[in-house]
Amino acid sequence: MVARKKKARPKTLQSKSGAQLRYIGVIRSELKERSQAPMQGSEGAPDAWIDIRPFAREALHGMQIGSDIVVLTWLHRSRRDVLKVHPRSDRSRPLTGVFWTRSPDRPNPIGLHRVTVREITQTGLRVGPIEAIDGTPVVDIKPVLPTSRDF
Amino acid sequence: MVARKKKARPKTLQSKSGAQLRYIGVIRSELKERSQAPMQGSEGAPDAWIDIRPFAREALHGMQIGSDIVVLTWLHRSRRDVLKVHPRSDRSRPLTGVFWTRSPDRPNPIGLHRVTVREITQTGLRVGPIEAIDGTPVVDIKPVLPTSRDF
């Protein structure tokens, strides 16, 4: 009797080296350049609109004005080849791994922004305060969990 | 005199519809299937290892044991074509837009996990508690900001 070959482990995405993000919306802000933007939303950032792309609008169903959400952005002006930085661009502070800083320059420049929902329309949301600049793509939106340590 | 054509607006990534994530590591956990995993880390999840890929290890420089970090994962077993779900898979709860839930099924299945750093080695970290299953790709790691509302 011929020995059966050991069944191959099913191929999943874990064997690949990356994945493709699909933008679900874009930030519309009075902040036009990185140099204008505060480093964190709590540091004097304005409110902004998030235009949601038509395919994703259904995913807003149930969202409530006044709630806190986490907006995940793709910081498209960032450098992806930087692994160490001076925190807050302060050269007196030692070079630090980007996973131990909030620098926008990092291998996958995903921004996390905790904001309050101000207004909801057919095509998007007004939220704030948020330091992301005009044109920044949005990749996800999540509620803040009251029962979790997460936020 | 020939009228000059209006200068084209510079092309940036904001005109595209997506971006490519590059995995920076992978979760190694005793949780092997989604069905075993609690819905949130605070609901009885174990500790796990994050193996960091060689190209990204330098970005851990300065990280401290005992600190809280946010691990961003790519929830590779998720469905990306789902826009509404019953929260916590409870069919008695009304269908809700995924941007108003923490469902792993969503257009860009990025997971956010606030965890404590237990151990740091040359090749990665032990962190916990974390509900992500074995083999889940990691896309970013950020410190929790003590001065921010973010976490």
DSSP state of B80: S
Contact flag B56-A148 (C-beta cutoff 8 Å): no
The confidence score (pLDDT) of residue A11 equals 43
Position A145 pLDDT exceeds 80: no
Position A15 pLDDT exceeds 50: no
Q: What is the CA radius of gyration of chain B?
A: 20
What pLDDT band is residue A35 in, cutting at 50, 70 and 90?
Answer: confident
The confidence score (pLDDT) of residue B42 equals 77
ipTM of the complex: 0.86
A151 against A45, higher pLDDT: A45
Closest residue of B to A137, CA-based?
B14
Let me know: does B25 contact B49? Beta carbons within 8 Å. Answer: no
Contact flag B74-A19 (C-beta cutoff 8 Å): yes
Q: Across the interface, which of A101, A108, A137 has its CB nearest the CB of B139?
A: A108
Helices (H) and strands (E) in chain A, counts: 0, 9
The CA distance from A121 to A126, in Å, is: 8
- pLDDT tens for residues B59-77? 999 999 999 999 999 999 9
Closest residue of B to A55, CA-based?
B83
pTM here? 0.87
How many Cβ atoms sit within 10 Å of the Cβ of residue A23?
Answer: 22
Contact flag A83-B135 (C-beta cutoff 8 Å): no
A-chain CB neighbours of B55 within 8 Å are 107
B88 against B112, higher pLDDT: B112
Contact flag B63-A151 (C-beta cutoff 8 Å): no
Mean pLDDT of A68-92: 94
